[in-house]
Structure 1
Amino acid sequence: EELSRQEYDVFVDAWLPKTHSRYMEEYGDELIDLGVNVEQVRTGLVVPDYMEVQSIADLQADTIMGISSGAGVMAAT
C-alpha cells in the first residue's frame, strides 16, 4: 500500500555488510533491512583468459583500474 502511494523507495541490490556499509552508517536509521536477497555471491578482480595472471600479486607491477576510490567495492577489493 505504501509503495502505491510512493511513500517508500526500495533498493534490492545492497551488498552488506561490506560494500555498501558507508550508506548504512550514514542512513541506517532511515532504512529497513529486509534481509538477504541472494546468498553465496562474490566480488573481486577479474581478468580476461588471454592474460597470464593467476593472482593479485601478478598485477602489482601494473595499475589496477576501478571505479571511484570512495566506492565500497573498491574498499572491499
Structure 2
Amino acid sequence: MNNIIQHDIIQQHLINFTTKLIKNVEEMLSKEWDFTKLVEVVKESTDELGRNIIKDFLEELDKAIKEDDKRKRNG
C-alpha cells in the first residue's frame, strides 16, 4: 500500500471525525453542558475513528495482496 493511499485514508477519516465531533460538541453545548457526556462523546468518536482507519487499511492491504503479481505466480 503506497503512502498516498495511507495519507488519503487518514485525511478523509480525520475530516469526518472533526466534522462529526464539532457537531456533537455544538449540540451538547447548546443544551445543558455536561462534562461527563463530553468525555463520553470524545471517547466514542476517537474509538470510531480508530476502527474506521484500521478497517480501511485492512481493506487496502487485502486489495494489494489480491493484486500482487508475485502472489499470483506463486500460488
Interval containing the TM-score (normalised by the shorter chain): under 0.3
TM-score in terms of structure 2 length = 0.21
Larger fraction in helix: 2
Give the alignment's TM-score, normalised by structure 1: 0.20
